[in-house]
Amino acid sequence: MGKLHDVIGFVQNEQTALNHVIYNSLPDQLARMLVEDREFSYYMSTRDYDPERPVMALTFDDGPKIGNTERILDVLEKYNVTATFFVVGSNVNENSEYLLKRMVDLGCEIGNHTNDHEILTGLDAAGMKAQIKATDDKIKQYAGVDCHLLRPPGGAYNDEVLANAGKPLIYWNVDTNDWETLSTEHVIHEIRTYKHDGSIILMHDLYECTAEAMEVVIPELISEGYQLMTISDMAYAKGIDLENGVNYYDLGMFPDEDEEEE
């Protein structure tokens, strides 16, 4: 009987240890994997993808801005879709922290738009890297995530920018010109007219017209069958491995590695 009790005690101890791993250690280990394994976290999509339906990435530059960014996030949450926000580091601080954390909570992606909206082609290599790193550091500090994408301000890039970016550059194939027209109708028209599978839409979350347009465009696109997702999720869905130092205009087509825009 003594040996039987020893066996039972051993089994109970092992079960207790296993339960500890399952309910305590394992979740922590998986969480660390998601944070530390760049490749796994970068391409991991938590959303269903239907290859028979078109995809699109809505992108917003220059924020975050209290009010407008929040309004856009409200629409994204309402329709359970995501977008990518290319933030300016000088706008990332204690006041906007809740917006960045909400982006992450909703499954959105945060990209780098430099710290001071500097035109990178006018900087030397050290200046470029400083602008990019400062914004990366703020995104990590206030959003708790690493940043994997860069959109150069003004769309200005050259070989030096590509060489020093340390990230894929994300351009666009639909420019809504929201900053210039300040017209809700114009934003809606440009998206309706030029969208296609794999489109990257350029907008700015600084403007009320853009937030208003999203309240119309997002449900309309969904009704047309579009799946609205982040840049990284769309690349994953398309089987595209985004490469550092390569400029991507349109994930329905090949990246443009040679063309320069002044």
DSSP H/E element including 112: strand 109-112
In 3D space, the residue among 155, 63, 71, 78 whose CA is nearest the CA of residue 110 turns out to be 63
Whether residue 262 has pLDDT greater than 60: no
Whether residue 67 has pLDDT greater than 60: yes
State percent of the chain over pLDDT 70. Answer: 78
CA distance 149 to 167: 6
Q: Is 204 one of the catalytic residues?
A: yes
State pTM to two decimals. 0.81
Whether residue 32 has pLDDT greater than 70: no
At 152, list the tokens.
């150069």
Name the class of domain 52-248.
alpha beta
pLDDT tens, residue by residue, 179-229:
999 999 999 999 999 999 999 999 999 999 999 999 999 999 999 999 999
- Residue 23's pLDDT is 55
Residue 219 to residues 153, 203, 226: CA-CA distances in angstroms? 29, 17, 10
The mean pLDDT value of the chain amounts to: 87
Residue 211 to residues 2, 93, 111, 116, 195: CA-CA distances in angstroms? 74, 22, 19, 23, 18
pLDDT tens, residue by residue, 85-133:
999 999 999 999 999 999 999 999 999 999 999 999 999 999 999 999 9
Whether residue 38 has pLDDT greater than 70: no
- Residue 165's pLDDT is 97
Q: Is 241 one of the catalytic residues?
A: no
Length of the chain, please? 262
Q: Which of 62, 136, 204, 205 is catalytic?
A: 204
**Domain spans of the chain?**
2-36, 52-248
DSSP H/E element including 79: helix 68-79
The larger pLDDT score, comparing residue 149 to residue 16, is at: 149
